[in-house]
Amino acid sequence: MKKKLKEYMRYDYPVRIVKEPDGLYCAEVADISGLCAYGKTPTKALRELDEVKEAEFELMLSQGQEPPVPKIKLEIPENIFKRMRNKNELKQFVKV
């Protein structure tokens, strides 16, 4: 289990940081609902998020669940996409 946990922790999950009205910063993993942490500074919120993320992934793995892998967003101009050889494989991921 430890090796798998380390693999998930190496992924670069997109993180959003927002300053809350009370002055705290909230760092959250956009792809994983509810996975967030707070800190007095953005840096402290990110450090706390790493700890929360590790605990959450460890719990998921211990229950036989796979943590979601991060998604990447590609923006490809339509004229280029139309010329791509592997566009049929990519069509399932296209959002309109």
What is the SS3 assignment for 50? helix
Write the pLDDT tens digit of every residue in 56-91: 999 999 999 999 988 877 888 888 888 888 878 888
The average pLDDT across 41-50 equals 98
Residue 85 pLDDT: 87
pTM of the model: 0.73
Residue 74 pLDDT: 80
Residues 6+ apart with CB under 8 A from 37: 26, 27, 28, 45, 46, 48, 49, 51, 52
Alpha carbon of residue 89 to chain centroid: 23
What is the SS3 assignment for 65? coil
Domain boundaries, the chain: 2-93
* CATH placement of domain 2-93: 3.30.160
Write the pLDDT tens digit of every residue in 1-38: 567 899 999 998 999 999 999 999 999 998 899 999 99
Query: Hey, what are 85's tokens?
Result: 């050889």
